[in-house]
Amino acid sequence: MAKVVVYKAIPCGYCTAAIRFLQEVKGQENIEIIDLTGNREARIELMKRTGQRTIPQIFINGKHIGGYDNLRDKDSRGELDLLLAQDPE
């Protein structure tokens, strides 16, 4: 099973939606959730790493997927299931 990491903050409806989608629709039980609420330094580091200012930011097996919309786009194109089926390297 893939290693899934979701960076989130509170409040964030898209963060909740992404985690719920991965768990309930895609059956991912072991999602590493990193809460950036109030952690400005970690948020800046994530922005440098991804080039994105928004949350959630999702990684599958170390590959940056993007945010919630990117996650759903990959799912609609059939790419998400392929990524989730891969074992971590």
Identity at 84, one-letter amino acid code: L
Nearest-CA neighbor of 12 among 86, 80, 75, 67? Answer: 67
Residue 35: band (very low, low, confident or very high) from pLDDT cuts 50, 70, 90: very high
Q: What is the pLDDT of residues 44-75, one digit of tens each?
A: 999 999 999 999 999 999 999 999 999 999 99
Nearest alpha-carbon partner for 3 in 62, 77, 67: 62
* 7 touches 39 (CB < 8 A): no
Q: Which residue type, as a one-letter code, is found at position 12?
A: C
Domains recognised in the chain with CATH numbers: 4-85 (3.40.30.10)
Asked whether the whole model's pTM tops 0.85, one would answer: yes
Q: What is residue 58's predicted lDDT score, i.e. its pLDDT?
A: 98
pLDDT surpasses 80 at 87: yes
Rounded Cα–Cα distance for residues 23 and 7 (Å): 15
* Residue 80, token pair as written in the block: 């998400």
What mean pLDDT comes out for the span 24-41? 95
Examine residue 11 and say whether the peptide bond preceding it is cis (omega within 30 degrees of 0).
yes
The DSSP call for residue 88 is P
Question: Which pLDDT score is estimated for 89?
Answer: 73
pLDDT exceeds 90 at position 20:
yes
